[in-house]
Amino acid sequence: MSEFDIIKKYFSRPVKQDMLGVGDDCALFSAANGFDIAVSKDLLIEDIHFFHDVDPISLGHKSLTVSLSDLAAMGASPLACLLGIAMPVANEKWLAKFSEGFYNLSNCVGCPLIGGDTVRSQQGIIISITVLGQVPFGQAIRRDGAQIDDEIWVSGDLGSADIACRIISSKIENNKFLLSRTINSLEWPNARLNLGHSLRGVANSAIDISDGLIQDLTHILNASNLGAFVYYDNLPFDNFLLDSLSKDDIKKSILNGGDVYELCFTAPKCQHNNIINISKELNIKLSLIGGIVSKRGLDIIYNDGSILDNIPSGFSHF
């Protein structure tokens, strides 16, 4: 099967009439008046970002999710996406499933695939997604917008995806029940697009958690030139973890575990009740985990007042 056959069969579904999708040198679509365009690209590499034997349907879903999550973090809505894919062989069974997982999500959130590139790699599968989104002019929620005295919030639960990842890579003891409880967080994450929209005009800053809470919150602090405290005992995680893991394993995963795709955001105290209402309306758990201060640095404080001395660092490729 040639490169063009692959594109035609797996990556050429029709798009809306007002767009030019797959098939020409460029895709075309019009930008709406009064909106900024939001663009983000991510790479996913076999055995670095996903296990080689992962179900390709979930990989198709997750590849798009990680990019949609960047749009969510800025309060943007998806417009379209591009897919770069490199693979050593054209495995039709794999392609059919990957494309199914990808298009299921793309249809669901209204983010049509309008272009990309398909090439052979010498080794391993490489996936690169670019998403394009829009956000009302000037309303994007940025990393550099945190303000002194902001409350720090996080959506959903932390740590589960990292636990699943560590079980599969034999870094923690294999435990069938724990893996079945955590695997969906790793393989089927969902971008918090609705939450991102609701936070426009409410949050001062936001980031999606891909590399771990501490590392990603630190990006907000560095960009905003501020510091923070985080109440360790307020950090949300699935209580099921307590049954089979040591406190240290849980701590490592909730502070530094990546692949979370929840949002961490900061908002002024006057928005507190509004945020509680957003949580109820969207049925998304939102936890108040700390506050922003002027003094640079990050303190993680336990209920008894003690401070965690060695904050472990999060995911870094190098």
Ligand X SMILES: Cc1ncc(C[n+]2csc(CCOP(=O)(O)OP(=O)(O)O)c2C)c(N)n1
Ligand Y SMILES: Nc1ncnc2c1ncn2[C@@H]1O[C@H](COP(=O)(O)OP(=O)(O)O)[C@@H](O)[C@H]1O
Known binding-site residues for Mg(2+) equal 25, 40, 42, 70, 117, 208, 211
Using rule CB under 6 A, residue 210 touches ligand X: yes
Spatial separation of the C-alpha atoms in residues 238 and 311, rounded to whole Å: 22
Q: Residues annotated in the binding site for ATP, as ranges?
A: 116-117, 143, 210
Q: Which does 151 bind (CB under 5 to 8 A by kind): ligand X, Mg ion, ligand Y, none?
A: none
The site partner of 50 among ligand Y, ligand X, Mg ion, none (C-beta below 5 to 8 Å per kind) is ligand X
Compute CA distances 120 → 25, 29, 157, whole Å. 19, 29, 38
**Residue 69 to residues 22, 147, 150, 249, 262, Cα–Cα distance (Å):** 24, 23, 23, 26, 8
CA distance 162 to 185: 9
Is 55 near Mg ion (CB under 5 A)? no
Nearer to ligand Y, 21 or 189 (CB): 189
- Enumerate residues 155-174 that contact ligand X by CB under 6 A: 165
Stretch that binds ligand X, among 24-32, 45-53, 128-136, 217-225 (CB under 6 A): 45-53
For ligand Y, the closer of residues 241 and 264 by Cβ is 264
CA proximity to 274, closest of 202, 204, 206, 194: 202
Using the rule CB under 5 A, is 42 a contact of Mg ion? yes
Could you give the CA distance from residue 192 to residue 95 in angstroms, rounded to a whole number?
27
- Tell me which of 15, 29, 36, 42 binds ligand Y, using CB under 6 A: 42
> For residues 200 and 219, which CB has a smaller minimum distance to ligand X in the complex?
219
Answer for the pair 161, 260: CB distance below 8 angstroms, yes or no.
Answer: yes
Question: To which H or E segment does residue 128 belong?
Answer: strand 126-136
From candidates 49, 56, 58, 70, binder to ligand Y by CB under 6 A: 70
How far lies 22's CA from each of 15, 118, 120, 239, in Å?
9, 12, 19, 46
Residues that bind Mg ion (CB under 5 A): 42
What residues make contact with ligand Y under the rule CB under 6 A?
Answer: 42, 70, 210
Binding residues (CB under 6 A) for ligand X: these are: 42, 47-51, 66, 165, 210-211, 258-259, 315
